[in-house]
Structure 1
Amino acid sequence: MKTAYYIGLMSGTSMDGIDAVLVDFAGDQPQLVASHTQVIPTHLFKGLQRLCEPGSDEINRLGRLDRSVGQLFGAAVNELLAKANIDKSQVIAIGSHGQTVRHMPSLEIGFTLQIGDPNTIAVATGIDVIADFRRKDIALGGQGAPLVPAFHQQLFATPEQHRMILNIGGIANVTYLPAEDSNNQSQVVGFDTGPGNTLLDAWCQQVKGEPYDDNGAWAKEGTTDATLLQQLKAHPYFALGYPKSTGKELFSQNWIEQQLAAYGQLDEGDIQSTLLDLTCQTIASDIMKLSAHGELFVCGGGAYNAEMMKRIAQLLPGYRTTTTRELGVSPKWVEAIAFAWLAMRYEHSLPANLPAVTGASREAILGARFCAA
C-alpha cells in the first residue's frame, strides 16, 4: 500500500514537552500512525524560560539553546520512528514548528523567532526538515499566527453546522468554521484569544512547585475575586479586533506579579481560580462575538483540564462543548499533526496561510527546506 509519511514536531508556549507525530497523507484524510512526547530536561526548560525574558548575553544563550533544542527535536524523531518501526527512508519530510522565544508581530517592524536548528534536526535524523513557517506570513504583513486554522478548515469544517475549534495551549486560539459555504477561505476566522494555560502554570509553579494544576483541582477549591478579574480583563489585548496573536511577552509571570502588587493580598487558591476564569471568560467572550451557538471542539492541554472545560461550557450554553476526539483526532496531537500537514503543503508547493486569519496581504507557501544530504 502506498504511503505518504510526514512527521510533525510541536513545542508550544507551555514548554512542557515536544510532541512528535508520524502522519500518513496518502488518503483523503491524514492518518495518525504513531506519536511520541519527548520530555524537555529541566536544565533546558529553565534555559528557555530565561531566554524568553530580556536579559544579558542573549546571543550566546540563543545560539547554544538553538542547537540544544534541535538535538532534542532530532531525538524525538528518532524515538518516534523506533516506536513505529518505520525506517527514515520512508519519511518524506519533517515539519518542525520549533520553540518560540519571541513573538512580537505588532511592532513597527514585527518579528517572530522560533529556535531548534532545523539543520541539526536534519543531520540527527537523516530526513529533510521543513521549518520557519511563520516568518513569510509576517513578511507579508501578517501576524504569523495562528497557522492552524487552515488545517482545521480542511479537517473539521462541515456545511451543516457552525464549528469552533479551540486550542488551549499556553496561549489559547480559536478557529471559526461557519456552516454556510464553509469552503470559502475568506469566511474562516482564527486568532489568539489570550492566555490559555500559561498564567495558570506559572502561578502553580511559583506557589506549589508543580508544573501545572492537575485537572484544575486547585482552582476549583478557590473563589474567584471579581475585582481582580476585572482588572486582569482590562488588559488592552482583549479589546483588540482580529487578526491578532500574542504570547508570553504580554502574559507572563512578571505581568501577574505586577497586577497582584497593585491589588493587594489574596489567597493563593483564589488567585488560581481568578486566573482560570480569565482564560475561560476571555475565550467565551470572543467565541460569542463570532456566533452565539454551534459546536465547540477543544484540543490542546486545556482539553484535559476538567474544571476549565466545565467553566467554558457553562459560559457558552448555546454550544455543545466537547473535544476533537469526537472528530477522530486526539486533542493532544492536533497541533503536531498540523505541522506535518504544513510540511506536506510545502512539499506540494501549496499555500498554507489564511490571510483573513493572519492579516497577510496574500496566500503563501510557508516554510523552507533544510536538507539532510
Structure 2
Amino acid sequence: MKVLGLMSGTSHDAIDAAVVDLALDESLRGQGPVLRGRLLHHVAVPYPDELRQDLAAALPPHRVDLAAVCRLDTRIGQAFAEAAAGAAAAVGGVDLVASHGQTVYHWVEDGTVRGTLQLGQPAWIAEAVGAPVVADLRARDVAAGGQGAPLVALVDLLLLAGLPRRPGLLRGALNLGGIANLTVPRTGRGGCAAYDTGPANALLDAAVLRATGRHYDRDGALAARGSVEPLLLARLLDEPYYRRPAPKSTGKELFHHGYLDRMLTEHRAAGGREPTAPDLLATLAALTARTVADQVRLHGLGEVVVSGGGCRNPVLSAMLASELPGVALVPSEAVGLPWDAKEAVAFAVLGWYAVHGLPSSVPSCTGARGPRVLGAVTPGPAGPPSTRAVPRPPVAATFRPAGSLN
C-alpha cells in the first residue's frame, strides 16, 4: 500500500511529505510480522509567507477569534492539499493519505492534557489527491487519558526492534524538532517510555527571529560565535517542566517567544548580564543539549538514533555529543530514514495502522488507559479504503529508500 504521510511540526516552517510503500512481511516464523517500508519520495514544501505569518500570529501567547481559526483551518488544509497532490503525482498516485495537520494548541493543565487542536481540514486533501485521508490522530489518545504525544513512539519502537541486536546495548530514538522527544524501549521500571524532554529548536528559532528576522540559525552560524552564559542557563534549567515525571508533553503553548522574554527579564533583574544574540543562541543550544542528555543518562542508553531539524545545527550536535561521551549518536539515515522525513513517514505508518483497524497508541508512553485506533477517516471518491484484515500487528519495522538492494 502506498501511503502518503504529511506533517508540519512546532517549527511551522514547512509541510513535510513522504510516500512510503508499506507491506507486511510474515515470512519470519516465530518472530512475528515485520512491516517493510520503502521510501519512494519525500519533500519539504515551505508554507507561503503570508500563511506562515498568520499562523505564527495565532499561536500562543497571541489570542485569536474563531473567524481566524476557521480561515487557518481552510488555508492550512489547502496548503497540505497542494503539497499532497504534488507528492502523490511524483509516484503515480497513492492509496491513502495520513495527515497530522498543524498543531496550534496543546491544552495542558498540571501535567494533564485536556485537549489538543490540529488545523488543516482533510477534505481539501481528499479532493486534491483523490484518496482517503486519515487525520485528527491525537484526539483519541487524549480522550483515553493520554498525552496525545509523542505519537511517533510506535514507529520508534518498531524501528529500534528491527535493528540487529547487540547484547547489553540499550537503544533509544530522539527527534529534535521544535520540541525534542525521546523514545526508550525498556526502562528501569519495565515497559517503554516516550515523552517530550523540552525545547529543541523552538526557543532557538524565537531568538533568531527576534535578532535577525530570519526563521532559523542556518548551520548554527550565530550560535558558533557565542559563548554559554552560565547564569542564564541555570535560570532556564529551573523550568518545572523538566522535573515532571513522564509521560508528559509540551509545545509552543509553553516554550514560545514570550517565555523567552520572561526568562531574559528575570535574568536581568537578578543581575545577569545582557547576552548578545550569539551568546543567547549558544546558551539555548546548551539548554537543549543538557535537557536531552539528562534523560538519555537517566535511562542508561548506549546508542540513540537521532532525527529532526536539529540535526542540521552543528553547534547543537556538538554540544549533545559533548554531554554524552560514550553514547553513540546515530543519524536516522543510517537506519533507512532521512532525518527530515522520519516524522512524515511515522504518520504514514499511523495511517496504515488506522485503516487496518490496529491500535497505534502506546499506553505506557502516552499514559492512556489502553491502546486505541487513532485517527478519523475522510473517504476518497471511491469511499473508505479497502484493506484486508491483519491477523497480528507488526513486531518490528525496517525502512529503505526506493531502489535500495539492502
Quickly name the TM-score band, shorter chain normalised: over 0.9
Shift of 1:231: 0.3
Aligned positions of 1:86-125 closer than 5 A: 86-87=92-93, 91-106=94-109, 110-125=114-129
How many Å apart are 1:26 and its aligned residue?
A: 2.1
SS of 2:18's equivalent?
strand
Aligned to 2:251, the other structure's residue is in SS state coil
**Measured at CA, do residues 122 and 242 of structure 1 come closer, stay the same or move farther in structure 2, by a change above 3 Å?**
same
Task: Please point out which of 146, 153, 157 is paired with 1:149.
Answer: 153
Alpha-carbon shift at residue 286 of structure 1 (Å): 1.2
The one-letter amino acid paired with 1:273 is A
SS of residue in 2 equivalent to 1:26: strand
Gaps of 5+ in 1: 181-185
SS of the aligned residue for 2:369 comes to coil
> Corresponding residue for 1:19?
16
Q: Is the 8 A contact 1:106 1:143 kept in 2?
A: no
Distance 1:198 1:45, change over 3 A: same
Q: Which residue of 2 aligns with 1:207?
A: 211
Q: Which has the higher helix share?
A: 1
**Is the partner of 1:43 in helix, strand or coil?**
helix
Q: Structure 1 CA distance, aligned partners of 2:64 and 2:310?
A: 35
Is 1:335 equivalent to 2:343 in the alignment?
Answer: yes
Match of 1:285 among 275, 294, 299: 294
Aligned mate of 2:81, from 50, 67, 74 = 74
Give the aligned partner of residue 183 of structure 1: none
Q: Distance in 1 between matches of 2:372 and 2:122?
A: 21
Post-superposition shift, 1:322? 2.4
Partners of 2:139 and 2:64 in 1: CA distance: 24
Calculate the TM-score normalised by the size of structure 2: 0.86
The answer (yes or no) to whether the contact 2:222–2:277 under 8 Å persists in 1 is no
Contact 1:105-1:138 at 8 Å conserved across structures: no
User: Does the alignment pair 1:5 with 2:2?
Assistant: yes
Matched, 1:48 2:92: no
AA aligned to 1:17 is A
Q: Which moved more, 1:6-15 or 1:209-218?
A: 209-218
Cα distance between partner residues in 1 of 2:49 and 2:64: 20
Partner in structure 1 of residue 279 of structure 2: 270
State the Cα deviation string for residues 31-54 of structure 1 (Å, max 9, x = none). Answer: 101112211011111111111125
Correspondence list, 1:32-43, <5 A: 32-43=39-50
| CA-CA distance at 1:163 after TM superposition | 1.1
How far 1:177 sits from its partner (Å)?
A: 2.6
Number of aligned residues: 361
Amino acid at match of 1:24: D
2:17 is matched by which residue type in structure 1? A
Relative to the length of structure 1, the TM-score reads: 0.93
Q: SS at 1:35's partner residue? A: strand
- Alpha-carbon spacing, 1:321–1:262, altered in 2? closer, same or farther (3 Å): same
**Deviation larger for 110-119 or 310-319:** 310-319
Q: Is contact 1:101–1:114 with CA below 8 Å preserved after alignment?
A: yes
Task: Indicate if the aligned counterparts of 1:29 and 1:155 stay in contact, CA closer than 8 A.
Answer: no
Distance in 1, Cα, partners of 2:125 & 2:252: 26
Alpha carbons of 1:322 and 1:260: their partners in 2 closer, same or farther (altered >3 Å)? same
User: What do you get for the CA RMSD once the two structures are aligned?
Assistant: 1.7
Q: Take 1:105 and 1:188, find their aligned partners in 2: how far apart are those partners?
A: 22
Residue equivalent to 1:361:
369
Displacement of 1:179 in angstroms is 10
| Residues 298-351 of structure 1: CA deviation (Å, up to 9, x unaligned) | 101011211111110111113111211111111110000000000000011000
- 1:233 — aligned with what? 237
* Cα contact 1:18–1:73 (8 A) shared by 2: yes
Higher relative contact order (CA 8 A, sep 6+): 2
Please state whether the residue corresponding to 2:36 is helix, strand or coil: coil
